[in-house]
Amino acid sequence: MEGPRYADDARNLLSDTQEGSGWPVRFMAFSGGLLLLLLIVYASLDFGYATFLRSKNQDIQEEITSLNTQVSKSEQDDLIVLNSQVSNIKGLLDKHILASRLMELFENVTSKSVNYTDFIFASDDGELNVKGSARSFEEVAIQIKILEDTDEISDVFLNSVEEAENSVLFDMRIIVDKSVILPQ
């Protein structure tokens, strides 16, 4: 009885080997197909697209040479200088301080009973030193509150205040937001 059992074991062993042995062949076929596809794509890019790009590059180089002959060397130098000047002016205008916007802001936020006598602006840090007069201490306090409530003004400092004939003189330091004075 032991003979047939060994025969069944041998058949099972052979059938397992035959069923499982197909995956390496399929894997190799898939890998070979993928390699062939990559080679075809590479060859088409190298011979087709690269040739197209070289032709396009040659056309552009010929056009540049043609344009260079149309414009003289002195005109080219003049254009380079002009481009540099325009670039420098653009840089200056981008950083240019717009004092007129500052004046507009103060026209809109100044009480009718307040007059400014000195208006000194330091554009580097947005600091504005203002001297002026008002009818009363209360008017100075109201003006400070108006300035503090303005979005474009980040801080207000009262340096001094004193009573004079028929008015109150004040000296303030005001920190203005840079967005008010720089172009947008």
Kindly report the pTM of this predicted structure: 0.51
Residue 130: the pLDDT is 94
Residue 88: the pLDDT is 92
Residue 133, SS3?
strand
Q: Are 156 and 144 in contact (CB under 8 A)?
A: yes
Question: How far from 143 is each of 98, 116, 134, 151, 162, CA to CA, in Å?
Answer: 23, 12, 9, 15, 15
Q: From CA 39, how far away is CA 152, in angstroms rounded?
A: 65
Q: From CA 37, how far away is CA 44, in angstroms rounded?
A: 11
What does the block give as tokens for 184? Answer: 């947008």
Q: From CA 174, how far away is CA 105, in angstroms rounded?
A: 13
Tell me if the domain spanning 99-181 has CATH number 3.40.50.150: no
For the chain, which ranges sit under pLDDT 50?
Answer: 1, 17
Residue 57: the pLDDT is 94
Residue 44: the pLDDT is 87
Residue 4: the pLDDT is 59
In the numeric block, the tokens 């100044």 are attached to 110
Give strand pairing partners of 79: none
Give strand pairing partners of 120: 129
Residue 184: the pLDDT is 65
How many alpha carbons fall within 13 Å on the CB side of residue 179?
4
In the numeric block, the tokens 């303030």 are attached to 172
Q: Are 150 and 156 in contact (CB under 8 A)?
A: no
Residue 179: the pLDDT is 77
∠ CA 96-115-143, rounded to 5°: 85
How many of the other CB atoms lie within 10 Å of CB of 105? Answer: 18
Q: From CA 165, how far away is CA 152, in angstroms rounded?
A: 33
In the numeric block, the tokens 């254009």 are attached to 79
